[in-house]
Amino acid sequence: MSLPSKVDALKERAEENVVAYASNYARVVLAAIVLCALAWRPSSLVGLAGLALIAHASNAGWLGEGPSFAALAAAAAPAVDPNAPPAPAVPPPPPLRVFATLAAYALAAYTHAFVPVTRGGWWGVAVCAAHAALRAAPGELRAAASARSGAVPTAHSMLEVVRGRSNHPSGDPRRLVRELAAGAAALGRAAWLAARAGAAAGLDWGIVRLKGALHRPPRRLG
């Protein structure tokens, strides 16, 4: 675990880790969804099991052959480019696939399975994002292990970040933390100004409507 010294290094590390540990991150997200379902409503596991079963059955070909992305793209090509050759018609999905898919989604909706999917998905993505940002990428490890590379590492250990001092040639170990905090503060200020401007515009609109209603002449009866 370490902290890059620059935002560009953090971006490169996160991209490399996402590619290298994609399967592990998928398992982490699935585990977070299951744990969220157990903590929130265990009955939602039935709906999650139905969604998993329909996905496995579709991948295994038990529900018949469905339309591929290539066939759908070819069918949509004439609508985008009028000069494109007409594409063959996409065959409709088998009735078994349609019925099984609708039944799985109905079961998931009945057991409220989409709630743990959303909550667990966010928690899992947050954990994976933290790992991708703090874990040294495979490229960094190879560069550090190679004595002939001559590459200067661009990351600080977590102990150096806590202490706030380092003999590293890249400088201040807390530089990235300060840059991210400044960016978050600027984003918060922009959101606050936008919310205040929206509230002021809504208040002005309400005042104008109220004045118009007060100065409107009364209607005559009869």
Residues 89 and 118 placed together within one structural domain of the fold: yes
Q: Tell me, yes or no, whether 116 and 194 share the same domain.
A: no
Same domain, 217 and 150: no
Residue 121 has pLDDT above 90, yes or no: yes
Overall average pLDDT of the 12-35 stretch: 93
Percentage of residues in the chain having pLDDT higher than 70: 77
| Mean pLDDT, the chain, integer | 80
Residue 81 shares a structural domain with residue 20: yes
Give the three-state DSSP class for 15.
helix
Confidence of residue 5 (pLDDT cuts 50, 70, 90): confident
Residues 116 and 17 in one domain: yes
Do 74 and 111 lie in one domain? The reply is yes
The pLDDT confidence band at residue 168, using thresholds 50, 70 and 90, is low
Residue 14 has a CB neighbour count (10 Å cut-off) of 19
pLDDT band at 180 (very low <50, low <70, confident <90, very high): confident
Q: Which of 149, 172, 195 is the last residue of a domain?
A: 172
